[in-house]
A and B are shown apart, each in its own frame.
Chain A
Amino acid sequence: MKSWIAFWSILKKDIKNYYLKPPNISWGIIFPLSWTLMQMIRSSGGVNLSEIREMLPGLMAMSILFGTTSMLAVTITFERKGRSFDRLLIAPISLGTMVVAKLSGAILFGIFNAFVPVIFASFFVDLAGIKWGAVLLTVFLIAITSTLLGLMIAVSAKEVFEAQTFSNFFRFPMLFLCGLFLPISELPIFLRPLSYLLPLTYGTDMLSGSIIGRSMLSPILCVLVLLVFTLALFTLCQYNIRRKWFL
């Protein structure tokens, strides 16, 4: 009960202090949004509008990736720098509960961001036939793994800009390696193994399956792989946290 009060309070504080603040919303929304618009303008200029639906899985994956990773740099690195984070470390709640509370905000933010391109697309194309249940599950799993990736970076970074720069180092290559806008089969052969080492590849594949009915891997396999990634990343983060956050 007591842990739950603390958990909920940390989550609520982060949402109020960070996630609903305009500059932070912009990171997760403006960038994917302008990308969406850019693609739409491009595609409506000559090409079939139905291409928007083709792009949707990639756009959603990108929104989640950018939304979650940039927020953790703020909610964790920024608070650590200002030392208010110490309060959370010395609170009588388990480290796991506290970390999950911090992650939950970013995960919710990621899920929310995922649907920004969907809402936009719905004005232009018919979205019938999409398996929404599967989409939601996938969005959730992508949000968790991306958030944990962000956490890995936030644990090591001392400054916010360091965390941001460091995460760009990961997320821009991921845009190309994970099949968001370019099928993995079109990647140079030596890069492909790298694709399969990244959780986003599996998430994007699942999204493609449930939105445009085209996927390379079985969805069950993808869910399993994503769960394994979640567990592995969480364990790794906990280990790093214990090493780095306590003097």
Chain B
Amino acid sequence: MNTTDIVTVTNLSKEYGDFTAVKGISFSILRGEIFGFLGPNGAGKTTTINMMIGLARPTSGTILIDGFDAVKKVKKAQSIMGIVPDESNLYDEMDGFDNLCFCGSLYGMRKDEREKRAKELLEEFDLIKAGKRPFKAYSKGMRRKLTIAAGIIHEPEILFLDEPTTGIDVESARQIRQLLLNLKQRGTTIFITTHYIEDAQRICDRIAIIVGGNIVANGTVPELMESVSHGHSIQLAADKDLEPLAEELQAHFDGCIVKTGTDHTVTLISKEQIALSPVLQYLDSRGISVYEAKELRPSLEDVFVKVTGIEAIELKKEKDKGGMLK
């Protein structure tokens, strides 16, 4: 184990009867980073989190947290964890403040200590007024925020969040992302699962893409993008249909792959950098005006589509059950 790793998962599997939900995955999380688990519904994200936090027993494999076996010494591991489950599962009858204090007490916080932290958190999470209302009277976004507050009241070293931004509005989701970035600033390691590509891209230092119980890609965002990049690629938008010129263009720029689109565009792809002026001059000589030229960079979405074979549009459909539209 690397000393900078706070979590090391090796060959972790989980079988439910004869169905294998997680198939021998391995990954590690660096101290202080935000590590994202990105995958569609049923990929095995929650199952993996449940095994890491001690709610589910692995069928095989090991989980090291802060250097010790988190399956055998589950209570020791749990003492440095904060956990935010996919459902906001606080106590309906209790108000926000009491809920937070109760959660603090489960981690052995003294009364004065937990009351002080609870007040601070209500303030930080913009829930002061709601602090005296019972949890059942909270809106979805408020519930989620209080659940996150409950997960960090004891200032855990590592925080696990299962889909923290699913099913809440854009503004609440933005607030939550900001809160997570603040926590990271203060040194908390964060493990987050999501099926929002944008979420992963915005806040995660490293991302593992999980599909059907397998990790199919794992790396920093630039590393992942590198894996789908074909070198350099520029796209030009012209005033005329360029299809008829396709062969001619390909012959002229034989160092590039040339693709013409039906929407008056042409894309040039090359291992080398592509100089723009010869292309513009050539098109100009054919009486074609270019309105726009842009470099095409692969997005995390391209990476996702490539490694999973799942079209981003499909993932969007899933997430609309949640509703965080951009």
Contact = CB atoms under 8 A, between A and B. Distances in A.
Interface of A: 1-3, 5-6, 8-10, 13, 17, 82-84, 86-94, 246-247
A6 B103 CA distance: 9
Given A91-B107, A246-B55, A82 B102 contact: no
B105 interface: yes
A92 B154 CA distance: 12
Contact of A83 (B87, B93, B108, B109): B87
Given A17-B94, A246-B55, A246-B57, A91 B106 contact: yes
B79 to A, nearest CB: 4
18 contacts: A5-B105, A5-B109, A5-B110, A6-B107, A9-B105, A10-B106, A17-B94, A83-B85, A83-B87, A84-B91, A89-B54, A90-B78, A90-B83, A92-B79, A93-B75, A247-B16, A247-B47, A247-B57
Contacts of A17: 91, 93-94
B107 A2 contact: yes
Nearest to A8: B105
Query: SS class of chain B's interface: helix, strand, loop or mixed?
Result: loop
A82 B89 CA distance: 7
Q: Most chain-A CB neighbours within 10 Å: which of B47, B50, B75, B78?
A: B75
B89 A88 contact: no
Contact of A92 (B47, B56, B102, B107): B107
Contacts of B103: 87
Given A13-B91, A92-B76, A247-B50, A87 B57 contact: no
A83 B89 contact: yes
A13 B102 contact: yes
Nearest to A97: B75
Nearest to B90: A84
A94 B47 CA distance: 22
B contact residues, range: 20 to 34
B249 interface: no
Q: Most chain-B CB neighbours within 10 Å: which of A10, A92, A247?
A: A92
A86 B108 contact: no
B106 A86 contact: no
Given A9-B102, A89-B54, A90-B78, 17 more contacts: A3-B108, A5-B105, A6-B105, A6-B107, A13-B102, A17-B93, A82-B92, A84-B89, A88-B106, A90-B54, A90-B55, A90-B83, A91-B106, A94-B75, A246-B56, A247-B56, A247-B57
A3 B105 CA distance: 9
B180 interface: no
A127 B93 CA distance: 41
Contacts of B118: none
B192 interface: no
Contacts of A10: 106
Nearest to B151: A87
A6 B106 contact: yes
A3 B94 CA distance: 22
Nearest to A242: B57
B53 interface: yes
Contacts of A86: 55, 85, 89
Given A17-B91, A82-B89, A83-B87, A89 B107 contact: no
A86 B87 CA distance: 11
Interface in B52-94: 53-57, 75-76, 78-79, 81, 83, 85, 87, 89-94
Contacts of A246: 54-57
Nearest to B50: A247
Contacts of A94: 75
A92 B110 contact: no
B55 A5 contact: no
B55 A93 contact: no
Contact of A90 (B53, B91, B94): B53
A215 B83 CA distance: 54
Contacts of A82: 89, 92
Contact of A5 (B76, B87, B93, B108): B108
A83 B147 CA distance: 13
